[in-house]
Amino acid sequence: MPGWLLINMIGKNHPDATVDLRAMYKRGDVVDVHPPAWVPGNKEGLPQFSRLLVNDKPVPFLAKYLLSEEEPSVDPEDPMPRRIRRRLYRIDIENLPPPVRNGLNNSGEADINWLALRSRIIDKVASQDESGVE
pLDDT tens per residue, range 94-105: 999 999 999 999
H or E stretch at 101? helix 98-102
Q: Which amino acid is at 2?
A: P
Nearest to 122 by CA among 70, 85, 84: 85
Q: Is the pLDDT of residue 77 over 90?
A: no
Distance from first CA to last CA of the chain, Å, rounded?
A: 15
Q: Which of 41-45, 101-105, 125-129 is modeled with the greatest confidence?
A: 101-105
Q: CA triplet 52, 91, 66: central angle to 5 degrees?
A: 80
